[in-house]
Amino acid sequence: MIKTIERTGTESGPTLLLTGRIHGDEPVGTRIIERLIREIDDDILTLAKGTLKCAPICNQRAADANTRYLDMNLNRVMSRAIANANKGKHEADLAHAVMNLIDEVDMLIDLHSFPDQTTPAYMICVDDSELAREMVKASAYKTVLCASDYLTPGNSQMTIDYAKSQGKPAILIEAGYHEDPDALERGYNAVVNVLATLGFLDKTPRTSTQMQNFVVMTDYILQRDDYELVLPLATAISIKRGDPIYKTRDGQIITSDKEGAIFAKNMSPKQGEEYCYIADITNEWPKKLSF
């Protein structure tokens, strides 16, 4: 159901899974994986140890239609229970195949891109293990989304959540805006440096001295067909308690009971998905990363 490519180094070692196009309209991850495999095959990069298992396109039908998903968000249904509860829907059935791939490996890098040109490239890590932190630092991404009760809507789970539940270190890299010509280079360099740092590649890893910003979600603003969004999302950079968010059909204004930075905007989400997050941003790794 999901086509994979494997390359094995000269020395034994762990297996790392690279996934792309969990969302069908996010081509950057696929291009990063294709470039990585091509440069290994052309001896530009040397795979020294372990195995890379790559799934360049996880949701082929959505990719063919150039849409985020067909029936439901594949990156919100990554648990056996949720997938079973939605049996028969394309992404729910596909989720089992992705989880099976994760079960077969030791660690995961999940590659994405996003539709908002104003959001900075970022990564997500919900694991506070030493190896996960090493992967975060090696990525050299300035902005790191951490675990919180609001990182995804209730009754949903991402690829990296499932990996964590199986004791497998994982990061999700949001390489940048879909059409940003720098997104491929940025994401590719992050992946290569993580692989070099972990010893998969025979390459001296770059040491990043950049201070990272750690983002903890405190709420999300969801698309709701029964509410009209009145928050000026295109220009908003922060929100205060009492700021208007929605207007109901009878004209009632729903206001925010949180304050913080506006992060990861999506100007045209599907029903039930996030317009944006409300977040606290610090320069220190949160004391409580796991929720």
Give residue-wise pLDDT tens across range 220-260.
999 998 999 999 999 999 999 999 999 999 999 999 999 99
Q: What is the pLDDT of residues 115-168, one digit of tens each?
A: 888 788 999 999 888 999 999 999 999 999 998 888 888 889 999 999 999 999
CATH 2.60.40.10 fits 5-197, yes or no: no
- For residues 191 and 282, the model is more confident at 191
CATH placement of domain 216-279:
2.40.50
Domain-wise residue ranges, the chain:
5-197, 216-279
Distance, C-alpha 100 to centroid of its chain: 18
Q: One-letter amino acid identity for 274?
A: E
Residue with tokens 């795979």: 47
Q: Which of 222, 216, 211 is nearest to 265 (CA)?
A: 222
Beta-ladder partners of 215: 145, 281
Specify the residue for token string 């229970």.
81
Instruction: Find the length of the chain.
Output: 291
- pLDDT bracket for residue 207 (50, 70, 90): confident
Residue 158 token pair: 């991402």
Beta strands in the chain (DSSP E): 5-8, 11-19, 49-55, 107-114, 122-125, 143-146, 170-177, 213-222, 227-229, 238-239, 244-248, 253-255, 260-263, 274-282
Asked if 5-197 and 216-279 have one fold, the answer is no
The Cα 4–Cα 19 span in angstroms is 9
CB 167 within 8 A of CB 128: no
- Mean of pLDDT values over 201-209: 88
